[in-house]
Amino acid sequence: MKKMIIKGGQKLSGEVTIGGAKNSTVALIPAAILADTPVKFDSVPDILDVHNLMLILKKMNVVSNYSHGELEIDPTQIKNVPLPGGAIRSLRASYYFMGALLGKFGKALVGFPGGDNIGPRPIDQHIKGFRALGAIVEERDDAVSIYTSAAGLHGARIFFDIVSVGATINVLLAAVKAKGTTIIENAAKEPEIIDLATFLNNMGAQIRGAGTDIIRIKGVSNLKAQNTHTIIPDRIEAGTYLSFAAANGEGVLVKNVITEHLEPFIAKLIEMGVYLEVNEDSIYVEGGHNLTPVTIKTAPFPGFATDLQQPITPLLLKANGCSRVIDTLYPERIKHIPELKKMGVKINSQNWVISINHSANLIGASVEASEIRAGVSLLGVGLMAKGTTIINHADNILRGYERIVDKLAGLSVKIKLVDEATVSTDQ
């Protein structure tokens, strides 16, 4: 494991370019095994989740090569092997191999996924969708076994009881080669789902309605990649740098942004009084002063993203008053709170409402990154605090933010990434 060492009092200035979307990438890599040809992606973020997914591919005899943002995957010699434990436990998105293997082979044995501990994230809607397509789903020794009869998968009409990104993607992956037409109702609308559908359609899939609450999938027998697929920019990474710059910046230009994907986040920054220049594919932000407190309520897209409720925390504590965050998707996403309190942040959670008060006397401390977004919120506050902050288990941050040390260096901010065995803090 790694730890980050951060000297406080550093201001952000300059430019940063946003990489490919993590939440797209972790769905696109499992989707690649559906192809009958080699597949190429570019704008692939250099994050731990990508390398863990490549390890899973290797177990299935799928060759993959990653270099400078380009990822090549050759699934033509794939073997359908059980995928219990190991890398499966390290990230939540490993469960997309359930849908991909089911669509490819008509059967899958995949361990229950791991990933960030941010509260219950059941897979009942995934299972409901698989069963509607004609699959039999059983739990076996902490793994999920999914298989079909000789008739294989067939199209179905599926209504999700709740909006679920994971279930929408998993059922889409299973249905893309099923016989007949599948209709997913109450589907998630996230940009990452549109990105996945675009990739599959470019290989010959027939998916319509991605980005709306009704998706129609007409099954096809073959998927063949013709061109390199460019992954969309990461809206969560963009929002994180915008938050840091607004809280503690002296003029930052965030480049390679699809601004439409950030409209709820941008709206909150404007409501707070942050100065923004929103351009076609970039956003310029200055450090905010005399900021107004706001109430944030997370919701499925196009609402305020749950993955941004922790990264915006450094900015909220600069507001003149009490801001409130209500995470309707993951109300237990509060692991950052006790760590932030160690740094002097006036933050509390009661009845699933997070209250963040103006906090001026921030101090460096030794804290722990329990998951990706909680960890990056500690980083943002550490830059604002007096003294040195040490973030233990910093690998969790690296799972979701590519080259974050280098990118912050480009914003005139120096942090160190060292092995946790390193004791000295006077870096």
The single residue of 116, 234, 307, 327 carrying the catalytic annotation is 116
Structure tokens at 157: 């009409």
The residues facing 15 across adjacent strands are 253
How distant is the alpha carbon of residue 192 from its chain centre? 9
Active site residue 116: yes
Neighbouring residues of 303: CB distance < 8 A, sequence distance ≥ 6? 264, 297
The residues carrying an active-site annotation are 116
